[in-house]
Structure 1
Amino acid sequence: MKHLRRWLIALVAVFAAVVTLNMQTVHADDSLAKVQQKGTLVIGTSPDYAPYEFLVNKNGKNQVVGMDVEVARKIAKDLGVKLVIKQMNFNSLLVALQTGKVDMVLAAMSPTNARRKSVDFSNTYYKSGQDILVNKTDAKIYKDHKSFANKKVGVQNGSLQETLAKTQMKTSSTLGLTKVTDLILALKTHKVAGVVAEGAVAKAYTSNDDSLVEIPGHFNLSSDTVGTAIGFAKNSDSLVAAANKSLAEIKQKGLINQYLKTAGSYMKTNTEDTSMIHYWTYFLKGVEYTLLISAIGAFFGVLLGTIFALLRLSKNKLSHLIGVSYIEFVRGTPLMIQVMFVYFGIGIFIDIPALIAGLIAVSLNSAAYVAEIIRSGIDSIPVGQTEAARSLGLSERQTMISVVLPQAIKNIWPALGNEFISLIKESSIVSIIGVTDLIYQLTVVQTATYKGVQPILVAMVLYFVLTFGLSKLLSHFERKMNHAA
Structure 2
Amino acid sequence: MKKRIGWLLGLVTILIAGLTFQVQSVYADDSLAQVKQKGEIVMGTSPDYPPYEFEATENGKTKIVGMDVEIAKQIAKDLGVKLVIKKMSFDSLLTGLQTGKVDMVISGMNPTPARRKNVSFSDVYYQGGYSILVNKTDSWRYKDKNSFEGKTVGAQTGTTQYVESQKQIKDVKVKGMTSAADLVLALQSHKVNGVAMEKPTAEAYVANNKSLVAVPSHFDLSSSATSSAIAFPKGDNTLVAAANKSIAKIKKANLIKKEYLPAAGKYMKTNTVNTSMWHYWKAFAIGVEYTLIITVCSVFFGFIIGVILALLRRLRGNWFKDLIRWLATAYVEFIRGTPMMVQVMFVYFGLGVLVNIPALLSGIIAISLNSGAYVAEYIRGGINSVDPGQTEAARSLGLSSAKTMRYVVLPQAVKNIWPSLGNEFITLIKDSSIVSIIGVTELIYQSNIVRSDTYRGVAPIFVIMVIYFILTFTASRILNHFEKGMQHD
Report the TM-score, using the length of structure 2 for normalisation: 0.96
Q: Which moved more, 1:197-206 or 1:170-179?
A: 170-179
Aligned to 1:481: 486
Question: What is the CA–CA distance in structure 2 between the aligned matches of 1:168 and 1:89, rounded to whole Å?
Answer: 26
Letter matched to residue 218 of structure 1: H
Task: Show CA shifts across 1:283-304 (max 9, x none).
Answer: 0110010011000000001111
Letter matched to residue 351 of structure 1: N
- Judged with a 3 Å threshold, the aligned counterparts in structure 2 of structure 1 residues 471 and 19 are, in CA distance, closer, same or farther, namely closer
- Judged with a 3 Å threshold, the aligned counterparts in structure 2 of structure 1 residues 14 and 430 are, in CA distance, closer, same or farther, namely closer
- Judged with a 3 Å threshold, the aligned counterparts in structure 2 of structure 1 residues 159 and 9 are, in CA distance, closer, same or farther, namely closer
Aligned to 1:70: 70
Aligned to 2:427: 422
Question: What is the CA–CA distance in structure 1 between the aligned matches of 2:152 and 2:168, rounded to whole Å?
Answer: 13
Q: Which moved more, 1:10-19 or 1:306-315?
A: 10-19
Do the aligned partners of 2:95 and 2:349 also contact (CA within 8 Å) in 1?
yes
Letter matched to residue 251 of structure 2: K
- Judged with a 3 Å threshold, the aligned counterparts in structure 2 of structure 1 residues 224 and 454 are, in CA distance, closer, same or farther, namely same
Matched, 1:321 2:326: yes
TM-aligned CA deviation for residue 350 of structure 1: 0.5
TM-aligned CA deviation for residue 318 of structure 1: 2.0
Do the aligned partners of 2:150 and 2:170 also contact (CA within 8 Å) in 1?
no
Letter matched to residue 259 of structure 1: Y
Letter matched to residue 412 of structure 1: I
Aligned to 1:266: 267
Q: In structure 2, the residue corresponding to 1:190 is in which secondary structure?
A: coil
1:352-363 aligned at under 5 Å gives the runs: 352-363=357-368
- Gaps in structure 1 of 5+ consecutive residues: none
Aligned to 2:379: 374
Q: Which moved more, 1:319-328 or 1:468-477?
A: 319-328
Question: What is the CA–CA distance in structure 2 between the aligned matches of 1:212 and 1:205, rounded to whole Å?
Answer: 7
Aligned to 1:239: 239
Question: What is the CA–CA distance in structure 2 between the aligned matches of 1:444 and 1:210, rounded to whole Å?
Answer: 20
TM-aligned CA deviation for residue 16 of structure 1: 6.0
- Judged with a 3 Å threshold, the aligned counterparts in structure 2 of structure 1 residues 330 and 245 are, in CA distance, closer, same or farther, namely same
Task: Show CA shifts across 1:398-434 (max 9, x none).
Answer: 1111111111111100111000000000111000000
Q: In structure 2, the residue corresponding to 1:108 is in which secondary structure?
A: coil
TM-aligned CA deviation for residue 14 of structure 1: 6.3
Matched, 1:286 2:287: yes
TM-aligned CA deviation for residue 451 of structure 1: 0.4
Letter matched to residue 445 of structure 1: V
TM-aligned CA deviation for residue 325 of structure 1: 1.1
Task: Show CA shifts across 1:455-482 (max 9, x none).
Answer: 0000000000000000000000011111
TM-aligned CA deviation for residue 348 of structure 1: 0.4
Aligned to 1:441: 446
Question: What is the CA–CA distance in structure 2 between the aligned matches of 1:356 and 1:212, rounded to whole Å?
Answer: 40
Question: What is the CA–CA distance in structure 2 between the aligned matches of 1:37 and 1:299, rounded to whole Å?
Answer: 39
Superposed CA RMSD: 1.8
TM-aligned CA deviation for residue 15 of structure 1: 6.6
TM-aligned CA deviation for residue 68 of structure 1: 0.2
Q: In structure 2, the residue corresponding to 1:366 is in which secondary structure?
A: helix
- Judged with a 3 Å threshold, the aligned counterparts in structure 2 of structure 1 residues 388 and 199 are, in CA distance, closer, same or farther, namely same
Matched, 1:388 2:389: no
Question: What is the CA–CA distance in structure 1 between the aligned matches of 2:87 and 2:10, rounded to whole Å?
Answer: 52
Matched, 1:304 2:327: no
TM-aligned CA deviation for residue 19 of structure 1: 4.8
Q: In structure 2, the residue corresponding to 1:181 is in which secondary structure?
A: helix
Q: In structure 2, the residue corresponding to 1:132 is in which secondary structure?
A: strand
Question: What is the CA–CA distance in structure 2 between the aligned matches of 1:341 and 1:42, rounded to whole Å?
Answer: 21
Question: What is the CA–CA distance in structure 1 between the aligned matches of 2:102 and 2:45, rounded to whole Å?
Answer: 10
TM-aligned CA deviation for residue 223 of structure 1: 2.2
Question: What is the CA–CA distance in structure 2 between the aligned matches of 1:246 and 1:129, rounded to whole Å?
Answer: 23
Question: What is the CA–CA distance in structure 2 between the aligned matches of 1:110 and 1:24, rounded to whole Å?
Answer: 26
Letter matched to residue 233 of structure 2: A
Task: Show CA shifts across 1:150-179 (max 9, x none).
Answer: 110101100011011011013211111111
Letter matched to residue 274 of structure 1: T
Q: In structure 1, the residue corresponding to 2:313 is in which secondary structure?
A: helix
Matched, 1:196 2:196: yes
Letter matched to residue 289 of structure 1: Y
Task: Show CA shifts across 1:55-109 (max 9, x none).
Answer: 0123432211100000000000000000000001000000001111100000000
Question: What is the CA–CA distance in structure 1 between the aligned matches of 2:304 and 2:192, rounded to whole Å?
Answer: 46
Aligned to 1:410: 415
Letter matched to residue 283 of structure 2: Y
Letter matched to residue 291 of structure 1: L
- Judged with a 3 Å threshold, the aligned counterparts in structure 2 of structure 1 residues 445 and 405 are, in CA distance, closer, same or farther, namely same
1:39-78 aligned at under 5 Å gives the runs: 39-78=39-78
Q: In structure 2, the residue corresponding to 1:109 is in which secondary structure?
A: coil
Question: What is the CA–CA distance in structure 1 between the aligned matches of 2:238 and 2:49, rounded to whole Å?
Answer: 29
Question: What is the CA–CA distance in structure 1 between the aligned matches of 2:38 and 2:117, rounded to whole Å?
Answer: 28
Aligned to 1:462: 467
The percentage of aligned residue pairs carrying the same residue is 59
1:144-223 aligned at under 5 Å gives the runs: 144-223=144-223
- Judged with a 3 Å threshold, the aligned counterparts in structure 2 of structure 1 residues 4 and 174 are, in CA distance, closer, same or farther, namely closer
Letter matched to residue 29 of structure 1: D
TM-aligned CA deviation for residue 26 of structure 1: 1.4
Task: Show CA shifts across 1:250-291 (max 9, x none).
Answer: 000011111011111111111110000000000011001001
- Judged with a 3 Å threshold, the aligned counterparts in structure 2 of structure 1 residues 400 and 14 are, in CA distance, closer, same or farther, namely closer
- Judged with a 3 Å threshold, the aligned counterparts in structure 2 of structure 1 residues 457 and 15 are, in CA distance, closer, same or farther, namely closer
Question: What is the CA–CA distance in structure 1 between the aligned matches of 2:441 and 2:465, rounded to whole Å?
Answer: 16
TM-aligned CA deviation for residue 241 of structure 1: 0.4
- Judged with a 3 Å threshold, the aligned counterparts in structure 2 of structure 1 residues 290 and 15 are, in CA distance, closer, same or farther, namely closer
Question: What is the CA–CA distance in structure 1 between the aligned matches of 2:473 and 2:4, rounded to whole Å?
Answer: 84
Aligned to 2:403: 398
Report the TM-score, using the length of structure 1 for normalisation: 0.97
- Judged with a 3 Å threshold, the aligned counterparts in structure 2 of structure 1 residues 207 and 404 are, in CA distance, closer, same or farther, namely same
Aligned to 1:332: 337
Q: In structure 2, the residue corresponding to 1:32 is in which secondary structure?
A: helix
Aligned to 1:116: 116
Question: What is the CA–CA distance in structure 1 between the aligned matches of 2:379 and 2:47, rounded to whole Å?
Answer: 42
Aligned to 2:28: 28
Question: What is the CA–CA distance in structure 1 between the aligned matches of 2:94 and 2:18, rounded to whole Å?
Answer: 32
Q: In structure 2, the residue corresponding to 1:351 is in which secondary structure?
A: coil
Question: What is the CA–CA distance in structure 2 between the aligned matches of 1:12 and 1:153, rounded to whole Å?
Answer: 56
- Judged with a 3 Å threshold, the aligned counterparts in structure 2 of structure 1 residues 393 and 8 are, in CA distance, closer, same or farther, namely closer
1:86-125 aligned at under 5 Å gives the runs: 86-125=86-125
Letter matched to residue 330 of structure 2: S
TM-aligned CA deviation for residue 24 of structure 1: 2.4
Q: In structure 2, the residue corresponding to 1:195 is in which secondary structure?
A: strand
